[in-house]
Amino acid sequence: MSLFWRIFSLNAAGLVLAAALLLGPVTVSTPVLPAEALVVVVGLAVLLAGNALVLRIGLASLRRLGGAMAAADLLRPGPRAVVAGPAEAAELIMTFNTMLDRLEAERATGAARALSAQERERHRIARELHDEVGQTLTAVLLQLRRVADRAPDGLRAEVGQAQEATRAGLDEIRRIARRLRPGVLDELGLASALRSLATEFTAHGLTVRHHIVGGLPPLTEETELVVYRVAQEGLTNTARHAAADRAEVRLRPVADGVELLVRDNGKGIDAMPVGAGISGMRERALLIGAVLAVESRPGRGTDIRLRIPATVPGDR
């Protein structure tokens, strides 16, 4: 029954009952007698209490809907609001649930396209850095070597410094290219890529240990890339913001799939706003139907867990 008919029926019943009583045994004198006033007050109180009860019951579903709307997060899909209550409220809840389903589907599709375009752009930039800038610096390094052989003793030290700077720049270009497009992931697989990633971040006072369990279920190329990018982003956040000296990367099979854990002993992130890095990791997790959980302990570090289900949706 709709909220309108609930309130109307209650008010109509109260007015009909009051009219029947006034036409029957109940009378009102002038001046009003105390007993008559008591009957009118009690009747009015009963009518108001009934209206309040009907409104509270009828609006409870709207309050639940308001709570569901306030808690809705497209990056953290959760249970839908329960369809209950008067017809108007039930229809509104159904409309909201349908809209939320559509928004989540559209966001997942848009995020998939954006991340796919991002990976293609990373691949293009990495190839240009390696083929163009890397080859140019290699040629410069060879020319400096020939110059160093012919340079007088007074300039040989400066030419050597230029060689070292060029060699350092070439190494940095290669490192950036590897981070943009991890060739080891395509060539040797996810386990080797994660070990190489841990080795790469073991520098500047940070020690990264890795524990990659064998016997992992087969994963799609997209899933392996998401796992690698989440581990990469987690270690990047640790190196830049966590003030940690130890971190670890774990990849192991679990009962319902595969779990990636990136843990550090830094200062935690509870007091820090969620940045683009964590949001990007959540978007990547949604693309493969995975669940990302960030657990932070102030002063005791942060855990980033990516739980990949055993059966990955084929349409993703």
> Is 118 inside a domain boundary?
no
> Is 295 inside a domain boundary?
yes
Segment 289-316 mean pLDDT: 77
Question: What phi-psi label fits residue 189: left (phi over 0), alpha (psi between -120 and 50 degrees) or beta?
Answer: left
Where residue 273 falls among pLDDT bands split at 50, 70, 90?
low
**Winning range, highest mean pLDDT, from 10-14, 117-121, 257-261, 312-316:** 257-261
CA dihedral sign of residues 31, 37, 43, 48: positive
How confident is the model at residue 247, as a pLDDT? 92
How confident is the model at residue 312, as a pLDDT? 47
| Whether residue 187 sits in one domain with residue 82 | no
With a pLDDT cut of 90, the percent of the chain lying above it is 7
> Is 291 inside a domain boundary?
yes
How confident is the model at residue 313, as a pLDDT? 46
> Is 47 inside a domain boundary?
yes
Question: Among the three residues 42, 77, 105, which one is the final residue of a domain in this structure?
Answer: 105
Assign residue 193 the CATH number of its domain: 3.30.565.10
The first and second tokens of residue 77, run together, are 């899909």
> Is 169 inside a domain boundary?
no
> Is 143 inside a domain boundary?
no
Of the two residues 191 and 274, the one the predictor is more confident about is: 191
Question: Among the three residues 67, 83, 105, which one is the final residue of a domain in this structure?
Answer: 105
Question: Among the three residues 77, 105, 133, which one is the final residue of a domain in this structure?
Answer: 105
> Is 168 inside a domain boundary?
no
* Phi and psi torsions of 16, nearest 5°: -65, -45
How confident is the model at residue 204, as a pLDDT? 66
| Whole-number Å distance between alpha carbons of 296 and 304 | 9
| Whether residue 186 sits in one domain with residue 316 | yes
Domain interval for residue 44 = 3-105
> Is 174 inside a domain boundary?
no
| Whether residue 314 sits in one domain with residue 213 | yes
How confident is the model at residue 315, as a pLDDT? 41
How confident is the model at residue 203, as a pLDDT? 76
> For the chain, how many structural domains are there in total?
2
The C-alpha angle 71, 75, 77, rounded to 5 degrees, equals 60
Segment 287-293 mean pLDDT: 85
